[in-house]
Amino acid sequence: MTTGSTSEQETLWHRVRRLARASELGLVLAAAVVGVLSGLVVVAMSSAMQGLHVLIFGIDPHGHLSIATGLPAMLVLLAPALGGLAFGLVSALLRRRGFGQPVDPIEANALHGGRMSLKDSLIVGAQTIASSGVGASVGLEAGYTQAASGVASRLGQVFHLRRADLRLMVGCGAGAAIGAAFNAPLMGAFYGFELILGTYAIPAFVPMMTASFTATLTRQTLLPDMPPPLPALGAPQMSDLPAILLLGILCALIGIVIMRGVTLVEAGFRRSALPAALRPMIGGLIVGALALWSPAVFSAGHGAVYYYIGADATLTFLLMLLGAKVIASAVSIGAGFRGGLFFASVLMGVLAGRAYAAGLDLFVPGVAESHALYALIGMSALAVAVVGGPMTMTLLALEMTDDLTLTLAVLAAAAAASLITRRLFGFSFTTWRFHLRGENIRGAHDVGWVRDLTVETLMRREVPQVSADMTIEEARRAYPPGSTSYLVATTPEGFYAGMVPPAALYEARESEEDADAPPATVRALLRQVDDTLRPAMTIRKALSAFAHAEADALAVTTPERRIVGILSEAHAVKRYSDEMGRRLSELTGERLD
């Protein structure tokens, strides 16, 4: 009875796995499950962070730390420092136990086919909660996307999804988490497209939208959140377009300064003699000192975003607060706190837009009729410069305002910011950090398959060989015409000596008939003496090597010139073309079983 029941369960599990793997409907259902789980992740992390703010700073359970008033000065100064000390000590303990650099969703999709560690992702989520919970100027979005994508990746691995579908699940998890966090499902879906998948693949549209909408619905059901109303924004006119484009350009420059600033602060901490475990304490002390002037530098600043869109403030105050927030974010991340710049860049963009409008009023009175309008445009443009995703931030503005005309103005500024950032800097914050680590990743496009397709996986291990000191007549007897397409010559010690074109053996015979003395040994016929492949070379490097050597085949050797295989250019080109065709089929929706 038990055996039959177990067999039925295995059969049911096999059917469920096959549904998710072989059916588009199954993939949509899996995306819906990912969306619900991502919504639960956002609810749990948001509640945990808010609980820490209430516990540590004593704010109202429904309030926001970044706009809290009446906080004791000593608490404001010491809470981030002592919290940073605890965070640093726990992080040091984790490093001793082998917790290193986790694979984030972009890296997972770019290099690892969507495979992520659930354990590492949950640790990152907990570290992000702790960082933002003690007041460090970082956003929860890194924790949201890491934890939700880790759950999605694990679910996809359990169902044995294909590489493309597993990458899609990771994108669904990250996009759904962002959609739930901002209560903006369209924005979340395009976050998954632009930043996690790296492409607007048509087959991914329904699963991505399903995940984002179910996550947002889950969050709204369990943790209803009514954002404060926005002030009157006004309708942008065509005459405002030059000022809007200039704001986008300025936001791009500010974004580049922010990313460079984080790197400089991080490098400064590394060069200091301060132990890594104590750096968050110093970072927290600096953030606390800045918060004595304004609590807006605390945490991600979600409450401050809505407050400063419409609050009255002078140009001097706005510039000072923008500078303080930039310093606080750079110091927090540079000191070792875990978190992202997405939420922080949204607040910085609001401040930049308000300061820009105040400056326009100062020099050209009456040009900027609605400062709140420029705040919203700056919010999107600066976030695009730092994070990327122009359509993502444009849709956030649309879902915040329900105003299509304003959204078009946001799109213009976002496009300008994206263009200038790409031309002058070339990276988003995430890809810039990959660059600093030595990874040549410009986005989440799947380049991992190219790295997986190495010479070692393509080469033939049975290599036709002759001794370089063998006479040509002996080589002819060993390899008659048509018996092989290539020959590898070796030294008496067994090392690689060069390639021997089989036809050259018989060209020597023609020379003999012409009364010209043939070479006494094979050594005189050697080609590509210094041109070989290494087993770890990617297929792209191998194809470049073929072009450089002008050879149809090359030997694969170790650094000591021991022969381990041989690879022909024709075979390498065919495999590369096959894999490229497979990636194209993934984009067009053709499912290959």
d(CA 65, CA 69): 9
- Residue 413: is its pLDDT beyond 80? yes
- Residue 132: is its pLDDT beyond 90? yes
**pTM check: above 0.75:** yes
Higher pLDDT, 14 or 203: 203
- Is 103 exposed, middle or buried, given 0-12, 13-18 or 19+ CB atoms closer than 10 A? buried
How much is the average pLDDT of 135-155? 92
The string of pLDDT tens digits covering residues 23-64 is 778 889 999 999 999 999 999 999 999 999 999 999 999 889
Among 75-89, 283-297, 333-347, which stretch is predicted with the lowest mean pLDDT? 333-347
Topology of domain 14-222, per CATH? Clc chloride channel (1.10.3080)
Phi, psi of 169 (to 5 degrees): -60, -40
Confidence of residue 588 (pLDDT cuts 50, 70, 90): low
d(CA 167, CA 149): 10
pLDDT at residue 412 in the model: 94
How much is the average pLDDT of 178-195? 92
Nearest CA among 155, 195, 147 for reference residue 42: 147
Confidence of residue 586 (pLDDT cuts 50, 70, 90): low
Nearest CA among 203, 205, 107 for reference residue 149: 107
DSSP bridge pairs for 83: none
- Residue 14: is its pLDDT beyond 80? no
pLDDT at residue 322 in the model: 94
pLDDT at residue 470 in the model: 85
d(CA 162, CA 23): 12
The string of pLDDT tens digits covering residues 247-262 is 999 999 999 999 998 8
On whether the CB atoms of residues 196 and 149 are closer than 8 A, the answer is: yes
d(CA 250, CA 453): 42
How much is the average pLDDT of 268-295? 92
Q: Does domain 453-580 have CATH number 3.10.580.10?
A: yes
pLDDT at residue 4 in the model: 55
Nearest CA among 545, 550, 543 for reference residue 453: 543
Compute the CA torsion angle 176, 188, 140, 121 (nearest 10 deg).
40
How much is the average pLDDT of 4-8? 57
On whether the CB atoms of residues 375 and 231 are closer than 8 A, the answer is: no
d(CA 311, CA 447): 46
537: left (phi over 0), alpha (psi -120 to 50) or beta: beta
- Residue 297: is its pLDDT beyond 50? yes
* DSSP string for residues in 124-143: HHHHHHHHHHTT-S-BTHHH
Domain ranges in the chain with CATH number 3.10.580.10: 453-580
Domain ranges in the chain with CATH number 1.10.3080.10: 14-222, 238-443
How many residues are present in the chain? 593
Strand 496-500 versus strand 487-490 pairing type: antiparallel
Q: Which two tokens stand for residue 455?
A: 């010479």
Tokens 């490229």 found at = 580
pLDDT at residue 159 in the model: 85
Confidence of residue 282 (pLDDT cuts 50, 70, 90): very high
Q: At a CB cut-off of 8 Å and minimum separation 6, what does 299 contact?
A: 49, 53, 65, 66, 132, 133, 135, 136, 137, 138
Tokens 């132990």 found at = 275
- Residue 587: is its pLDDT beyond 80? no
Higher pLDDT, 1 or 584: 584
How much is the average pLDDT of 545-558? 86
User: pLDDT > 70: what percent of the chain?
Assistant: 89
- Residue 10: is its pLDDT beyond 60? no
pLDDT at residue 511 in the model: 46
- Residue 564: is its pLDDT beyond 50? yes
d(CA 593, CA 581): 14
- Residue 295: is its pLDDT beyond 50? yes
pLDDT at residue 43 in the model: 95
HSE (side-chain half, CA atoms, 13 Å) at 407: 15
User: pLDDT > 90: what percent of the chain?
Assistant: 41
Q: Which two tokens stand for residue 352?
A: 């930049």
Higher pLDDT, 74 or 453: 74
On whether the CB atoms of residues 16 and 29 are closer than 8 A, the answer is: no
Among 222-226, 417-421, 486-490, 520-524, which stretch is predicted with the lowest mean pLDDT? 520-524
On whether the CB atoms of residues 165 and 156 are closer than 8 A, the answer is: yes
Nearest CA among 394, 368, 369, 358 for reference residue 379: 394
- Residue 218: is its pLDDT beyond 90? yes
How much is the average pLDDT of 198-208? 84
Mean pLDDT of the chain: 85
Confidence of residue 515 (pLDDT cuts 50, 70, 90): very low
- Residue 460: is its pLDDT beyond 90? no
Q: How many DSSP H helices and E strands does the chain contain?
A: 24, 5
CATH class held by domain 238-443? mainly alpha
pLDDT at residue 327 in the model: 94
Q: Which two tokens stand for residue 269?
A: 């901490």
Among 156-160, 326-330, 355-359, which stretch is predicted with the lowest mean pLDDT? 156-160
Among 118-132, 185-199, 307-321, 478-492, which stretch is predicted with the lowest mean pLDDT? 478-492
pLDDT at residue 1 in the model: 45
pLDDT at residue 285 in the model: 95
Confidence of residue 589 (pLDDT cuts 50, 70, 90): low
- Residue 591: is its pLDDT beyond 60? no
Q: CA distances (Å), 228 to each of 66, 185, 225, 349, 582, in order?
A: 15, 19, 9, 18, 48
d(CA 544, CA 550): 10
155 SS3 class: helix
Among 491-500, 503-512, 546-555, which stretch is predicted with the lowest mean pLDDT? 503-512
Nearest CA among 231, 229, 246, 243 for reference residue 370: 231
Q: CA distances (Å), 446 to each of 167, 219, 252, in order?
A: 9, 31, 27
Confidence of residue 510 (pLDDT cuts 50, 70, 90): very low
